[in-house]
Amino acid sequence: MTGTEPAVHIDTTRPHPARVYDWYLGGKDNYPVDEALGRQIMAIDSGAPRAARSNRWFMQRATRHLAGAAGIRQFLDIGTGIPTEPNLHQIAQSYAPDTRVVYVDNDPIVLRHAEALLRGTPEGVTEYAQADAREPGVILEQAARVLDFDRPIALSLIALLHFVADADGAYDLVDTLVGALAPGSCLVLSCMTADFEPENVREGIERYAAGGVTLVARSHAEVSRFFKGLDLVDPGIVSVRDWRPDLARDEEPLGDGPVSLYGGVAFKP
């Protein structure tokens, strides 16, 4: 999959969520337009970088649980973003070198960095597919070239679904993807919420909209709908900073303040 797609122009005139997220994390793979939006958000909520780090650490803790205690050996990560170490495949393959991982994103700059940086173990497979999250059929077709859908797969939708409105089929998207998975597979998901800081989140959504980026904040009940029919792992759907802190490795103190992202992990019966 990697490297087979035609070259695509990188638009540096409009902010892109993956690059703004990279700026929050202190990365260098972003442009002035991304930094400008990031700074606007920080003027509203100085905790935005804290949320980005918390979300990244949630992914790492969830991957440790699934690769370790749960023994999952296949991962499908949609909405990958710009690679930031440790990446999902590095964690998963540290538990089992033969783990197979497929990353999916639609941003050309993510593709460029993925090709350069996403190197897995010789025993396993680490691949990248360029596809839009709103096209689950395309994603599943490409992922099936690497992953065995008759065996359990961990589907990772980290900080993705708040960029997909209900009208654009957010719930149908998850239903289609989970429906294609074998029993014993799991869903790892984090999603923005306004439950903790409604005013800050509302203003942040308006700033993103002004930059041409749609954001959707969902309540606990609305996030729970994504897990319908699945068996949630304790502690259920909680702020990402509170999900299994016992699995933390090298996480820096976050300081006070809420993190406006819900996260959860659930298995398909």
Residue 112: is its pLDDT beyond 90?
no
Q: 125-130 and 100-105 as β-strands: parallel, antiparallel, unpaired?
A: parallel
Q: What is the pTM of this model?
A: 0.89
In the predicted structure, residue 228 carries a pLDDT above the cut 50: yes
Dihedral sign computed on CA atoms, order 20, 87, 134, 202 = negative
Distance CA 134, CA 156 (A): 15
Q: Provide the token pair at 255.
A: 């300081």
Domains in the chain, ordered, with CATH? 54-196+218-267 (3.40.50.150)
Region 38-65: what's the mean pLDDT? 89
Mean pLDDT of 236-250: 95
Task: Determine the pLDDT at residue 30.
Answer: 85
DSSP letters, 163-197, are GS-GGGTHHHHHHHHHHTSPTT-EEEEEEE-SSS-
Backbone angles phi, psi at 38, to 5 degrees: -60, -40
**DSSP code of residue 78:** E
For the chain, what percent of residues have pLDDT higher than 90? 62
pLDDT digits (tens, 9 = 90+) for 250-261: 887 777 789 999
Residue pLDDT, tens place only, 122-133:
888 999 998 999
Segment 37-66 mean pLDDT: 89
